[in-house]
Amino acid sequence: MKEQWTRIEAFLGAHGCHDQVGLRSGASDDQIQSLEAHLGVNFPDSLKGFLSVHDGQNGRAGLVSGQQLLSAENIRREWDVWRSLDEAAMNADCADFMASHPNGAIKPMYTNRFWIPLTKDWGGNHIGLDFDPDAQGTVGQVIRFGRDQDTKLLVAEDFNAFIEKLVVSLSDSKWNGEYLESKI
């Protein structure tokens, strides 16, 4: 993941927005292990490597399609917020209008304890890992989910593919003075 971060940082430097993005220093192995234990999942090595180089962002300028990349602490915090909902009631109340694209890749639920947020948009929406896919999905796929995401969207087949998409999207994006105009 160091190579991918080098490419991301080069882009940020070339566009003069490195400071506004506010990349944090890397998470320690203990922080990552503590987060995995709290969430009840084992992260792919690529995510562990990614977090160990930069542990999310401090700045509000979203690095991932306008969304802020979460630190280990903020992944835990966002996940805990979702767990504070009555998961059974929310899933039952919303069952009629939840969907997956592509169909069968992501369980059509409002929330799932095995969806791990990696980004946030300040409105309750995320890009994250799915450790409980539907029949046509794969464990560790990257999805869009959240408050306004009735149709859960498959973003990438795994974290490695997601990071490659991020690097490509950043190379095609522009800094508008407040955020990166990119699309994943």
CA distance 102 to 11: 31
pLDDT tens-digit readout, 169-181: 988 888 877 777 7
Q: What is the mean pLDDT of residues 35-59?
A: 96
10 three-class SS? helix
Identify the residue whose tokens are 């796929």.
141
Taking 90 as the threshold, does the pLDDT of residue 32 lie above it?
A: yes
Q: What CATH number did the domain enclosing 18 receive?
A: 3.40.1580.10
In contact, 90 and 38? CB cutoff 8 Å: no
Domain containing residue 47: 2-181
29 CB-near residues (< 8 Å, 6+ apart): 48, 52
The amino acid occupying position 178 is E
Least confident segment among 45-49, 54-58, 60-64, 162-166: 60-64
178 CB-near residues (< 8 Å, 6+ apart): 20, 61
Number of domains observed in the structure of the chain:
1
CA distance 149 to 41: 23
Token representation of residue 84: 């504070």
Token representation of residue 124: 């309750």
